[in-house]
Structures are given as C-alpha cells and as structure tokens.
Amino acid sequence: MQISAPVGGSTKVDDGRKHPMFPVGHLLPFIFVTVLFFLWGMSNNLTDILVQQFKKSFELSQFSAQLVQTANFFGYFCMAIPAALLMRKWGYKAGMVTGLVIFGAGMVIFWPAAVTHQYSLFLIALFTVGSGASVLETAANPFIAQFGDPQTSEQRLNFSQAFNPPGTITGVLIGTYFIFSGVEPKAPQIAAMRLAGTYQTYLQGEIMRVVPTYLTFGVVVLLCALILSRTKFPVMKSEHEGEGENHGSFGELLRIPTIWIAVAANFCNVGAQISSWSSLIPYMKQYTVVTERTAAFYLLATLIAMAVGRFVSTPLMRFVRPSRMLGLYGVVNALLMLVAVNRPGLLGAWGIVASGFFISIMYPTIFALGLKGLGRNTKIGGSLLVMAIVGGAIFPPLSGLIARQTGSVALGYLVPMVGFLGVAAYGFYQSAQRSLLSGPAY
C-alpha cells in the first residue's frame, strides 16, 4: 500500500481501487469552470494575431510588436498574489468572478484605444486583460486540481485544460477572418498610397478591425461573470474560508523547494510556448511567400496539434508517469526548435507546428505537480505558478531582440529551445524524485 499527500492537504491511501477523474455529484460547477478554460484560451492566442496586426498598423519593429505579449503576460505576474489573497478570504468562486470582470473590462478598453490610435493604450488594455486572466487562472487551475479525487488531479486538470486549445483555435480563426483584412500592399503600392495621402487612413482602418472582436468578446465575458456569480458552488475543505482557519503563508512555502522548482519550470514553459507561437507568423512572412492569413493557418495547425496532444496524452498518463512524459516532450520540442533555427522556411514552420502536440501537457502537468502536498498553502502556491506565466512577457521580446539585431527571426527560436530544455530537466527531476520515493506514478 502506497501513501501520498494530495493537494487538498489530507493523506490519501492508494488502495489499488480505481479513482474517479470527475467530482461525484458536482458536475455542473465542474463543467462551468471548464468552459472558462475555453474562454481565456480564445484571448491568449488572439495576441499572436495582434503582434502581426500592430506591427503593420503602427509600423513597429519585431521587438516593439512583441510588447503585446509583454503587456498581456506581465498582468499575470502582477495580479497572481493579490488573487491568492482574495481567495484565501472569499474562496475560489469570488476569484473567478473578479477575474472575469477585470478580463472583460480590459477588452472593452480596446475601443477607445483604437479610436485614439494609441499603441500605449492598447498595451494598457492588454495588461488589464492579462490581469483578469491571472486572477481567473489562479482560481480555476487549483479549483479543478482539488475538485475531486486527489489521486487523479493531474488527469482532471489535463482534461479541463484540454478545452483551452479549442478556445485558442477559435481565437485564431476569429482573428484570421475578422482582424486580418487580407489587404497587404507591397512597397510600390505603399509609396503610391503615401503620395496620395491615403496610407494613414488605411492603417487606421486596420487598427479599427480589432474593435468588433474585442468588444463582443468583452460583453460575453462580463455576461459569464454575472452567470457565475449566481451559480451555487460547493465549499471544499481545502478552501479554509472560516475566519479562524490557518490559510498558510509564504514563509511556509519558502521551506518547500518543490514549489519553487515548479515555478521555474513553468516560467520556462510559458515563455517558450508564447515566444514560439507569437514569432510564427513573422517567421513565415520572412522565409516564405505566404500571406498573413495563410501564415495564421499554420498557427491554427499548431493549436490543433496541441488539442490532439492533450486528448491523446491524458489517457496515456494512466500508464506512463506524467513527469517522465513531461521530460520526454520537453526534449522533443527542443529538437523541433533546433529544426526551426537551422531550416528556416516551410520545413522549420512544420517543426513549430509539430511542437504543439508536445506542448499540450506541459502547463497542466507542471501546475498539478507543483501543487502536490501543499495543503493549506495551495492557493498561494497556485498564485506563484500563475506568476511564472510572466515568462510569456520576457521570452518573446528576447526573441524579437535577437531578430532585430541579427535580421533573422529564425535565430530567435533559440530562446524557446532553451525554455523547453528547462521543462525537460524539471520533468526528469520529478520522475526521479517519484521513483526514489516509490510513490504513485505522478
């Protein structure tokens, strides 16, 4: 008989019985929260479209355009701890409602940003969207991980996260058809438009194309906040919402090295993932003759590969240790990034597309492994893992800086390659630790 410490804080005995993946008797709130994974997936990959759209509309360098990702993901860093403190007092539901409200408000700000033609205001709007998503993820990820049998927390979180890729696919499709106009004037045409005084009008029209998408999305998100606020959620023991209960502390987490190693791994994972995706369209524009819309379909293929990877890999976790799978997937992705660097063009692009399959399990597996055994410190630990998403704010500008200095978007893919190697190291480290402890196959 094997004993392990679940994320809820109590000791769980593995008695050989089959452990259910889904919470018994509470499927409605589980389904509703899983829908939220779809929503923020739509938002996250719309930013990959915005990088190219703003680069063209504001005539930016690759480095300046990547500030779209910096603004969005820096919001994750700033709001994760306040979100954890809010949930320690009011619970997961309050965190999710608050996150949705901030999330939706940021999308509404796109309207005045477009009207005033201010890139800085767009960055503020994206920071607000990222802040709301940070609160939302800080609540939703640990909620799903703890909402059921602790022995199946990784499988449960991977299942809910599996609905994130369909959201990202939907977001890219919306961006491709409603944000990209399909009008890409060549240098002689641009010169003629400048001479005729119509080029700035064209650029302003391109900027305004983001408004209907983000305004509609913002209204939908705010409506979800209203519905969620009126939905009854069960109170889990691990929430510790009573006034006199011990909520844990950062001081205690300082003495738990596993959470900090997981934070470093998630920093590498998200940074590698976002820099890989946000550079794909510029990569194809530099090394192939495809249009923006065609390049966006390659990004779409990457996200489809991710969705397939999530649905294929999650059942395999019953037979393959998730941490070991994480290590192997990290190595494969590092090699695929090397293909993108050394074979710029369609072959490199397809290497980036293939990486989506192996990215699939990384975030939820790192998250679930990082929360193992934290008990009353789960909310704070979850906030640290969400803060690590700031990797998505740092890696893309580094890739853009390399591209600007060398003139090669391909060389920028060395940055995600290093990130994936960090993920691989974490996966193999966790697998070795679990083997030494002779614990369950986490």
Rounded to 10 degrees, the C-alpha dihedral 298/304/308/310 comes to 110
Burial zone of 18 (CB within 10 Å; 0-12 exposed, 13-18 middle, 19+ buried): exposed
Q: What is the pLDDT of residue 41?
A: 85
Predicted confidence band of residue 13 (pLDDT cuts 50, 70, 90): very low
User: How many residues are recorded in the chain?
Assistant: 442
Cα 7 from Cα 29, distance rounded (Å):
19
pLDDT in tens, 209-245: 999 999 999 999 999 999 888 888 876 655 544 444 4
Residue 288: closest CA among 333, 245, 343, 249: 343
CA atoms within a 13 Å half-sphere pointing along the CA-CB vector of 440: 24
pLDDT in tens, 393-439: 999 999 999 999 999 999 999 999 999 999 999 999 998 886 655 44
pLDDT in tens, 180-202: 998 889 889 999 999 999 999 99
Q: What is the pLDDT of residue 272?
A: 97
Residue 10 has pLDDT above 90, yes or no: no
Predicted confidence band of residue 84 (pLDDT cuts 50, 70, 90): confident
Coil/strand/helix, residue 288: coil
More confident residue, 160 or 281: 281
> What sign results for the dihedral spanned by CA atoms 29, 32, 36, 38?
positive
pLDDT in tens, 351-406: 999 999 999 999 889 988 988 878 777 777 877 888 898 999 999 999 999 999 99
Contacts of 379 (CB under 8 A, 6+ apart): 84, 87, 88, 138, 142, 247, 248
Cα 206 from Cα 192, distance rounded (Å):
18
Cα 343 from Cα 275, distance rounded (Å):
18
Coil/strand/helix, residue 3: strand
Predicted confidence band of residue 52 (pLDDT cuts 50, 70, 90): very high
> How would DSSP label each residue in 312-352?
HHHHHTTTS-HHHHHHHHHHHHHHHHHHHHHSTTHHHHHHH
Residue 137: closest CA among 418, 389, 439: 389
| Residue 3, beta-bridge partner list | 13
Q: What is the pLDDT of residue 6?
A: 33
Cα 99 from Cα 239, distance rounded (Å):
18
More confident residue, 160 or 25: 160
191: tokens are 């010169």
In the chain, what are the domains?
Answer: 25-231+246-437 (1.20.1250.20)
Mean pLDDT for 342-351 is 96
More confident residue, 290 or 383: 290
| Most confident listed range (12-26, 221-235, 237-251, 333-347) | 333-347
